[in-house]
A and B are shown apart, each in its own frame.
Chain A
Amino acid sequence: MNAFSRILANVQLRRQSTSLVVGVLFVVTLYASVCNLLLSPDSMFYVSTYTITLMGKYLCYALLALSVDVVWGYCGVLSLGHGAFFALGGYGMGMYLMRQIGDRGVYGNPELPDFMVFLNWDTLPWYWFGMDQFWFAMLMAMLVPGLLAFTFGWLAFRSRVTGVYLSIMTQALTFALMLAFFRNEMGFGGNNGLTDFKDLLGFDLQSDNTRVTLFVLTATFLALAFLVSRFIMDSRFGRVILAIRDSEARARFVGYRTESYKVWLFVYSAVLAAIAGAMYVPQVGIINPGEFSPINSIEMVVWVAVGGRGTLYGAIVGALLVNYAKTRFTAIMPDGWLFALGALFVWVTIFLPQGLVGYFEKLLAKFKNSNGGGGAASPAGAKEASS
């Protein structure tokens, strides 16, 4: 089988999977929203607002997983610090929501959030200015993580910090940010973070309509991010990224400035994570420094690993599955979850290096082959994603 037909088969598979993901996402979102808004709570098909919010949360995680997959699955850059970008995006949204509370807080101060009054501050710190404007807050929620990713990536990739070193550096980054955000003097609410939000753009955060809208928006962002990522990966840029993953030195010798490719991909991924964070906060109603903790970032990686990296839709599947399992598991036996999560890490890395998606693709390919279909081949997937 020649390389060309293999690539063709891959493209075909990718197209199928793309339309499948977007289609399923569209149908589920539409169904859940309609069932929540139009049916009475007594109906058999009614979807509760709790479920809607839970699904919205999962979709945020899926978007986050997608952002991890973009750099890890396609470029071999294992970031253990994506939680930092997610949390920064979340804090951006949280700051806006905090300003929206206005004088409805416990202390009734129209300018200052409650925790600042509590700390005896009398003016707003400079970095809080403008955060009461939605457009500005959202810009910052994406710009700040993007800039952080750019600076970090520029420094790291330029001096060719790769592999495990880079992973540990990213972990240190999020760890340092966590320590910083725990400090009250930082002006982000310290230990308690930002919470008690009332409304977003004038819409009450507790109402069903807002919840459903947020859920639909998250689904839309996920679908968009998926399509854009697919487009990027199919473009020339994406090809170079794949080449870098498989052999960075060779790509460099061919004449590509690999570091700038990596930096831009890293920034793109960080912005995706930040969007996920910004969508996450109004739905769960709180953001605190715990989101920066290294274990959170590592959990994201395991979603991608379970689903199958380097496929985009694998990341989404993994995030949804693992988080659904987590919700069920922590309800039944709270102590067991860490055992299960730990075992999942070990099991997936040893027995399912391509993740669930890779495993099923392999099964599918086998099935096709045994049926005499010569055209299909085993998908390239992410064979040597690690290096």
Chain B
Amino acid sequence: MRQISAILAVIIALAISCTAWAADEVPAAIDAPIDAAVYEKLVLLTEASFREKVGIVEEMADSSGQQAVLALQILLNSQLYHDEEGNQEFYQLVQDSAGKDQLYNLKTGRLAPDLSLKQLDKVRTNNRLRKAIKQSIAKIRLFKGSEPERLAALQSMLGDMDADNAKLVTTAMSTEASESIQELMQVAMAIYRAGAGAEEEKFAAIKTLQGRLEPEVRAALTGLVESSKGNKVLHAAALKALQTTEEKVEFYGFVEKLFFGLSLGSVLLLAAIGLAITFGVMGVINMAHGEMIMLGAYTTYVIQLLMPNHIGYSIVVAIPAAFVVSGLVGIAIQQGIIRFLEGRPLETLLATFGLSLILQQAVRSIFSPLNRQVSSPEWMSGALEINPVLALTFNRLYILAFSLLVFAVLMYVFKKTNLGLNVRAVSQNRDMARAMGVKTQRVDALTFGLGSGVAGVAGVALSQLTNVGPNLGQSYIIDSFMVVVFGGVGNLLGTLVGSFSLGIANKFLEPLTGAVLAKILVLVFIILFIQKRPKGLFPQKGRAAE
């Protein structure tokens, strides 16, 4: 338990401390006019041969600064068009979200709505020109960009450190102020020297490269190991450096698997925690629990339909909405069906299963049997790159944190509030609780509503990871029961430990056996585990256990 929270703390701390972004290459539609000097160069481009174009592009890199980057990127991605009449008008071709072509005038920076592609000519590029453009963009960024831009430019250069690039980096090094970029420049030079340097330079390069995780570094080291077969000392040094690097990569691979395991665990936790309340604490088998999750996911979908312009907020609105929707349906189920089947668990199981069929079919009739796509808000997309071999996606990180938050809130409700006290009293001894004046009927309804509502909240989170469809809940119900049974019935903490250990076990088995077999093995393990400890990991003790 403490170890898990320690690992979590480390990951969250890492998440906050490092924020490097992957460079986004395809430019979006422009929103301001292009600089006049750059524009003049573009005019020259339309008449020039490819050889001349290379010269123009290189000149752009020297004379203009940041302004040229955007224009060059547009050119690089074949988005640049000019009109046939020779009015020297330039346009950027962008596809909007519906996939429709749209043209933006580079002089005004505005959308040109009446224009069709047929009236325009593409400014053509070839491989050599594209290489020159890339180099020029890198050069501009390396010398004139902001710090993250310089870093990104350098990273994109690591892959082909030829003599030209090495010269570029050497010049840039003398003016570079940032320490981390200086360090990466050393690495870049070492990659170059590992391939083309003299022998003692190669030794120095190995020293610099050792332990760096960039895939380019590993490629350079592997190349060196291959090429230095004749020189035993050098070969041994390169091999050792490579092994150190591989060990590190392996370690981060382990961390990544752990993260995926935790992520799966958090999904399981969210799916199972509501069940831990209704099944674990109340002892009611609710086979329609998965459908409560599904309702939550569909609530998210509906709310996104209602506020299409505020996807970022819709998810925040969806959380309480899903809680209320699923919670109310849960209370209706409890009052309408489960109340009459008290003390007959097998019948409850059948009735709620029937209910789950009805709910699934209802959703299928209302929303169609096809999956619905729920879009992720911007702040949840993208990934956190801790180092070149380890990237954690934000949606998984948020869901991990969110599941722990939900868990903490529920723990608080159960331990510190009146409702929690009543629930525990009723679950331990119904008659005695009633004798003490606890309104057991009301507590039952509220508890069931709480468990179902939490399932709905889980649906909101799941909608960010998978497609929303009528079978969404069904695919989690067996897993949820396994988690609760494994963790120990009537024990929220057991559910936490159960879900994370099952999630991690699953992800560590997957590379060895394949996803399906891993799942089967985990199921078989639980079946065997239950034989050994029928009451789960953390059995209830004392009178309540009977």
Partner of A338, one of B349, B357, B519: B357
Write out the residue numbers on chain A whose beta carbons fall within 8 Å of the beta carbon of B527.
152, 155, 169, 172-173
How many inter-chain residue pairs (CB < 8 Å) link A and B?
Answer: 119
Write out the residue numbers on chain B whose beta carbons fall within 8 Å of the beta carbon of A386.
344-347
The yes or no answer to B7 lying at the interface (CB within 8 A) is: no
Partner of B534, one of A165, A167, A298, A341: A165
A301→B531 CA distance, assembly (Å) = 24
Question: Quick one: which of A176, A180, A345, A387 has the most chain B CB within 10 A?
Answer: A345
A86→B519 CA distance, assembly (Å) = 23
The yes or no answer to B402 lying at the interface (CB within 8 A) is: no
Dominant secondary structure of chain A at its interface with chain B = helix
Within 8 A of A (CB), among B503-527: 516-517, 519-520, 523-524, 526-527
The yes or no answer to A322 lying at the interface (CB within 8 A) is: no
Contact of A349 with B347 at beta-carbon distance under 8 Å, contacts A165-B485, A172-B523, A338-B358 already known:
yes
Is B523's CB under 8 angstroms from A350's CB? no
A298→B527 CA distance, assembly (Å) = 19
Dominant secondary structure of chain B at its interface with chain A = helix
Complex: chain B residue closest to A302, CB-CB: B350
A165→B355 CA distance, assembly (Å) = 20
Write out the residue numbers on chain A whose beta carbons fall within 8 Å of the beta carbon of B285.
164
A183→B523 CA distance, assembly (Å) = 16
Within 8 A of A (CB), among B335-350: 337, 340-341, 344-350
Write out the residue numbers on chain A whose beta carbons fall within 8 Å of the beta carbon of B524.
176
Digitize A145-171: 1 where CB-to-B-CB distance is under 8 Å, 0 elsewhere.
000000010011011110111011101
The yes or no answer to A318 lying at the interface (CB within 8 A) is: no
The yes or no answer to A353 lying at the interface (CB within 8 A) is: yes
Report the minimum CB–CB distance from B260 to chain A (whole Å): 20
Report the minimum CB–CB distance from B146 to chain A (whole Å): 51
Please, how many residues of chain A have a CB less than 8 angstroms from a CB on the other chain? 45
Write out the residue numbers on chain A whose beta carbons fall within 8 Å of the beta carbon of B520.
176, 179-180
Is B534's CB under 8 angstroms from A160's CB? yes
Partner of A183, one of B340, B517, B530: B517
The yes or no answer to B356 lying at the interface (CB within 8 A) is: yes
A326→B51 CA distance, assembly (Å) = 75
Write out the residue numbers on chain B whose beta carbons fall within 8 Å of the beta carbon of A160.
534
Is B516's CB under 8 angstroms from A349's CB? no
The yes or no answer to A344 lying at the interface (CB within 8 A) is: yes
The yes or no answer to A310 lying at the interface (CB within 8 A) is: no
Contact of A294 with B349 at beta-carbon distance under 8 Å, contacts A164-B285, A168-B485, A179-B520 already known:
no
Is A294's CB under 8 angstroms from B532's CB? no
A161→B341 CA distance, assembly (Å) = 22
The yes or no answer to A343 lying at the interface (CB within 8 A) is: yes
Is B345's CB under 8 angstroms from A163's CB? yes
Contact of A353 with B347 at beta-carbon distance under 8 Å, contacts A171-B478, A343-B354, A345-B355 already known:
yes
Is A345's CB under 8 angstroms from B357's CB? yes
Write out the residue numbers on chain A whose beta carbons fall within 8 Å of the beta carbon of B364.
335, 338
Is B523's CB under 8 angstroms from A338's CB? no
Write out the residue numbers on chain B whose beta carbons fall within 8 Å of the beta carbon of A335.
361, 364-365
Complex: chain A residue closest to B524, CB-CB: A176
The yes or no answer to A101 lying at the interface (CB within 8 A) is: no
Report the minimum CB–CB distance from A93 to chain B (whole Å): 24
Is B347's CB under 8 angstroms from A339's CB? no
The yes or no answer to B351 lying at the interface (CB within 8 A) is: yes
A180→B514 CA distance, assembly (Å) = 11
Write out the residue numbers on chain B whose beta carbons fall within 8 Å of the beta carbon of A179.
516, 519-520
A172→B348 CA distance, assembly (Å) = 19
Contact of A346 with B354 at beta-carbon distance under 8 Å, contacts A172-B478, A180-B516 already known:
yes
Complex: chain B residue closest to A159, CB-CB: B531
The yes or no answer to A279 lying at the interface (CB within 8 A) is: no
A342→B347 CA distance, assembly (Å) = 13
Is A341's CB under 8 angstroms from B526's CB? no
The yes or no answer to B482 lying at the interface (CB within 8 A) is: yes
A302→B485 CA distance, assembly (Å) = 24
Question: Quick one: which of A182, A350, A353 has the most chain B CB within 10 A?
Answer: A350
Report the minimum CB–CB distance from A161 to chain B (whole Å): 5
Question: Quick one: which of A158, A165, A168, A335 has the most chain B CB within 10 A?
Answer: A168
A353→B343 CA distance, assembly (Å) = 13
Contact of A338 with B361 at beta-carbon distance under 8 Å, contacts A160-B534, A163-B345, A345-B351 already known:
yes
Digitize B376-420: 1 where CB-to-A-CB distance is under 8 Å, 0 elsewhere.
000000000000000000000000000000000000000000000
A302→B357 CA distance, assembly (Å) = 13
The yes or no answer to A78 lying at the interface (CB within 8 A) is: yes
The yes or no answer to A305 lying at the interface (CB within 8 A) is: yes
A301→B362 CA distance, assembly (Å) = 23
Write out the residue numbers on chain B whose beta carbons fall within 8 Å of the beta carbon of A172.
478, 481-482, 523, 526-527
Is A342's CB under 8 angstroms from B485's CB? no
Write out the residue numbers on chain B whose beta carbons fall within 8 Å of the beta carbon of A171.
478, 481
Contact of A342 with B358 at beta-carbon distance under 8 Å, contacts A168-B485, A176-B520, A176-B524 already known:
yes
In the complex, besides A163-B345, A346-B351, 10 extra interface pairs with C-beta distance below 8 angstroms are A155-B531, A167-B349, A171-B481, A183-B516, A338-B357, A343-B358, A345-B357, A346-B337, A346-B358, A349-B347
Subset of 27 A-B contacts with CB under 8 Å:
A155-B527, A163-B345, A163-B346, A164-B345, A164-B349, A169-B527, A169-B530, A171-B478, A172-B482, A175-B478, A176-B523, A180-B517, A182-B516, A298-B353, A338-B360, A339-B357, A342-B356, A342-B361, A344-B354, A345-B350, A345-B351, A345-B357, A349-B347, A350-B337, A350-B341, A350-B351, A387-B346
A residues with CB within 8 A of B: 78, 152, 155-156, 158-161, 163-165, 167-169, 171-173, 175-176, 179-180, 182-183, 294-295, 298, 301-302, 305, 335, 338-339, 341-346, 348-350, 353, 385-387
